[in-house]
Every structure is written in C-alpha cells, then in structure tokens.
Structure 1
Amino acid sequence: MKSKKVWLITGAGRGMGVDIAKAALAAGHQVVATGRNTDKVANALGEFENLLVVKLDITSSADAAAAVKAGVERFGAINVLVNNAASFYAGYFEELTPEQIEQQLATSLLGPMNVTRAVLPVMRRQRSGQIISISSSAGLSGFEFGSAYAASKFGLEGWMQSLQAEVEPFGIDTIVVNPGFFRTELLTEESTHYAEQSIEDYAERRAQLMQFWKGYNGQQSGDPAKLAQALITISEQEKPPHRFVAGADAIGGVEQVVAVLQQQINAHRELSTSLAYGDS
C-alpha cells in the first residue's frame, strides 16, 4: 500500500461521499468524514478507529475552520481534501429565483472555496497535499434547464485551474473530476430543487424536462463505488492529473466540446488573427 494519508471528505453522509469515504477507509487511510448531519454520516459509514465524523455545513466558514481543526487535532494532518458536497437547482434561468441561484452558487462554488480556504494553511505548512473537487460534465458544457448548476461548475473549473498555479510551488496539487451520469443521490428530492416560478412560454418544455430528470434517478449508467476507487488510484499516483474525466458518457461529451471549440476557432480564424494593433 502507498503511504497512509488523511482524507477530509465533504458531503460524506449520502451519495458519492459515502462511497469515497468507504474506499479511503478500505485503502487504510484516515478519514475525516463531514456532513451537516453527523448522525447520518456515522450511520452511513459505521465505526472505524481511523474515522472521525465532524459536522460541516460547507456554506459556513466557521464550520469549515472547525472541521479542519478537528481533523488536524485527531490525525495530525490533512493530506487530501475532497470537495464533494453538492446540490442541483434545475430550471430555466428566468424561472429560477435569485435566491435559488445564490443557493446553488453557495453550495457548489462558494462552499468548496470555504473548505479549501480552511485547509490550505495546513497543506502549505506540510508542503504537500491534494485538493480534489467534484465538478461535472456541466463544468465544460452548459445544458438546457441547468443554467444555475452549470454556472456553479464553470466557476469551480476556473477557480481550480487558477488555484493550481498559486499552490503548486508548495507541493499542492489540484484535481478536477468531471463525472458523467453516476447513480448517486443528486437527483433525489433531497438534493434536486426545481424552479419556483412558472412562465407560460417555457411550460411545454419544462414539463418534458422535469419528467426526464425525475425519471432518470436510479437509471444513471455510472457506478459511484467504482468512481470512488478510481479517485483512490489517482490520488496514489506520483503525479496525479489536474483533470479526470469520469465515465464513457463524460468522455464522449468532452470530446464533442473540444470538436465544437476547434470548429468555432477555424470558422473565424482569419478575422480573429487580423485584430492586432496597427493591422490594416
């Protein structure tokens, strides 16, 4: 086995977070498993000598600082942070309220920032660490009915890529994970919230898409336990990738994004390259 590490995992009471925590424990690592409901986290994972369950609402900077402090006090370090906690606000942009969009950003963008901000001083002192943030295929390609979610994931992507350049000199790696459709609990009623407003122009398409999203829960092709094991494998690599596209469907989607971008570049290459100052 590779050297034992301390993993701090957000959203470890349900969904993919449970699988990641179980995989890390099975690999012999020490785990700080966090969630808003500690009883739920403890019940999902069971009892282990190398497990610490800590309350963490990722939208609270104070909770983030307290969780990191508790982890360091118990295990002496934080080697791997997994920003996993997530929610999904689905709906047409016009129908989503400003409050719903703010809640989406608070959970999927500002929340990971809060926890990472609390962890970075520890990793800088160690001169080592990994920050794994679970993004989505929606972090690379927006989709109808997912404007708020995609905005949060696009933001996560830009932040993580920029952060890599800032923390690499301290021996810290960032890893963005872009999963396709995995059979997690993201599409359950507890995690998915729909637009509160109704605009007649969107009514027909809204009905079709709500039927799709509600019916797709439990039908996703990806196995979250296998993804969790893949993250363990990647983390143990001497030089882990800065991006991991997870799932055959995700790879297909990303390849399409790349092809469309190349097509758009080529379509206006002559105009684009004629814009230098002083060009006639």
Structure 2
Amino acid sequence: MTDNKKVWFITGAGRGMGVEFAKAALAEGYQVVATGRNTDKVAKALGDAENLLIVKLDITNSTDAEAAVKLAVDRFGRIDVLVNNAASFYAGYFEELTPQQIERQITTNLFGPMNVTRAVLPVMRKARSGHIITISSLAGLMGAEYSSAYTASKFAVEGWIESLRYDIAPFGIKTTIVEPGLYRTSFLEPETTIWSELSIDDYVERGALSQGFWEAQKGSQPGDPSKLAKALITIASQDEPPFRFLAGADAVFGAEQKVAELQQQINAYRDLSNSLGYEDSETVRRKLTEIINQ
C-alpha cells in the first residue's frame, strides 16, 4: 500500500476543524470518508473529488456508525486513520446546566467517539494496523470555570483512550490524543456552543462575564486550523506517532502549568502520601513498578 492511498475516516467534517482535516487529507492524495449529520453541508464545504466519500453520520447513533463504516469499507476496502473530531460545547456553571444538558454533552463527546471507534476497530484489527486520532482539548487536562460539563467529557475521553491504547496495541493499532487550545473555527457558533438553560442568582454576574469572555473569543482565537490539519498529516505519517499532541502554544503553556501544579502537590504531600501503606507495602509498590515498566 502506498502512503497516499491511505483511507481517512473523519467525523464532523461539515464545519470547523473537520473541514480542514478533510481538505488536508485530500490534498495529500489520501482517500477520505467525510462524515456529518448534514451531508449537504459536508458536500458544500468539500466539493467533489474522486477520492472523497461523503456519508451521513450522527455519532451518537451506533447504528449510524456501523452503517457509515460499512459504506467506507465497501468503497475503499479499509480504514487506516480514524479522526474522532465531532463534538459540542455546553457552556455554563454546573448548577445552571440541566441534567439533560450534561447528559447530552457526555453523549456527544464521549459516547459518540466510542460508537465510531467500536465500529471501526474490527476493520483495523483485521488489517492488524490503523491509527485512531481523537480530538480532545486542553480541557481534557485541566479544568476551568464555566466549563465543567465539557471538561468532564474531555477528561473521560482521555481516560478512555489512555486505556484503550493498551487493549489494541498488540494489533498494530496506534492512538493519538490531540489537545488543542483555542482555534479560529466555528466551534463557538450556536450550532456547536450551547449555553446553560437555568439561571441562579448567585451566578448571574459571573455568568454574564464568563459568557461574554467566550463570545469575545470568536474570530480572535490564536490557533490556525489549517496548520493543525497539516500537523495531523505529519503525525499520521510517522511510524511512532505521539500518544499525546499538545496543539498550540496556549495548549503547551496550559499543560506546563498543570504539570507544575501536580508536581507542587506531589512535593507538598509526599511524606503523608507515602505513609499510608501497610508495613509490607514497599514490596508491593516495587512489584507494581516492575509491572508498569515492563
């Protein structure tokens, strides 16, 4: 198989980063399965190309995912790179988000990519190769005000992929978590960003400031999505792609702050933490370290 015949399967390809990912893959000569809930929107964004297959896919529907994967394999014979990109952002303070909103956030951002990955994995296992690229967020590493539901969904995605990689590595399938900072896309448009439905007096003033902050970001985010798309092409071409990729200077800065905070907490409570075991716990700890390092 020549590299430019790789098959890329991209979710959320009708807007935002997904459009850029699909365009970049097509420009490299790859075969692309571009999916979205609205196929007309995907077609308008990407046009027509011999190497392009546009497929309807609501990632929250497992039947949709299975059908989309079948169409992809029927057309191109395999799937080499899966890009779990589709997502939404429910913004608001935890108490002001309804339980239904939080459930929808988790369903879209966690169960959605799980549905698609579950449908793709049998294809990759059979081929004994593949690369699953999952778009997380800096919010998958650190929490922030006014984004508890979104952050919860992205933390969950990171934990899932971090564990999944051990399940599927023996089959030659690689995983990469991409953690973008702020990018100049349609992510903050009404189709993607949903504000909390409830209003509690204690949060009103801060909520107005927080919503204003997010609305002010539209069109001024520092990240260039076309450059991120090219970075994904580079990563997907590597024999040993990174397990995590911090995408953007703001993401690197945020991650460094998180690492520093963790190290400070480790150092501050090291003696107390190490004092909590049974007398024979040091032997157990050494054995666990040996297992982890194998």
What is the TM-score normalised by the length of structure 1? 0.98
> What does 1:222-241 align with in structure 2 at a 5 Å threshold?
222-241=223-242
Cα distance in 2 between the residues matched to 1:214 and 1:241: 33
Cα distance, 1:2 vs. partner?
3.4
The answer on 1:242 being equivalent to 2:243 is yes
For 2:67, the equivalent position in structure 1 comes to: 66
The answer on 1:121 being equivalent to 2:122 is yes
For 1:130, the equivalent position in structure 2 comes to: 131
Cα distance in 2 between the residues matched to 1:274 and 1:98: 40
Cα distance in 1 between the residues matched to 2:126 and 2:163: 20
Identity among equivalent positions (%) equals 67
The answer on 1:169 being equivalent to 2:182 is no
Indicate the SS of the match to 1:89.
strand
- Specify the code of the residue in structure 1 equivalent to 2:15: R
The answer on 1:104 being equivalent to 2:97 is no
Indicate the SS of the match to 1:65.
helix
Cα distance, 1:278 vs. partner?
3.3
For 1:146, the equivalent position in structure 2 comes to: 147
Task: Kindly indicate whether the alpha-carbon contact (under 8 Å) linking 2:10 and 2:35 is maintained by their aligned counterparts in 1.
Answer: yes
- Structure 2 gap segments, 5+ residues each: 281-294
- Specify the code of the residue in structure 2 equivalent to 1:51: L
Cα distance in 1 between the residues matched to 2:143 and 2:197: 21
Cα distance in 1 between the residues matched to 2:272 and 2:41: 57
Q: Greater helix share, 1 or 2?
A: 2
Cα distance, 1:3 vs. partner?
4.4
CA deviations over 1:201-223 (Å, ceiling 9, x no partner):
00110010111111211110000
For 2:17, the equivalent position in structure 1 comes to: 16
Cα distance, 1:188 vs. partner?
0.7
For 1:276, the equivalent position in structure 2 comes to: 277
Indicate the SS of the match to 2:194.
strand
Cα distance in 1 between the residues matched to 2:4 and 2:229: 18
Cα distance, 1:240 vs. partner?
0.5
Please report the RMSD computed on the Cα atoms of aligned residues, expressed in angstroms.
0.9
What is the TM-score normalised by the length of structure 2? 0.94
CA deviations over 1:80-111 (Å, ceiling 9, x no partner):
00000011000000000000001101111100
Aligned residues: 279
The answer on 1:221 being equivalent to 2:222 is yes
- Structure 1 gap segments, 5+ residues each: none
Cα distance, 1:4 vs. partner?
2.1
Indicate the SS of the match to 2:67.
helix
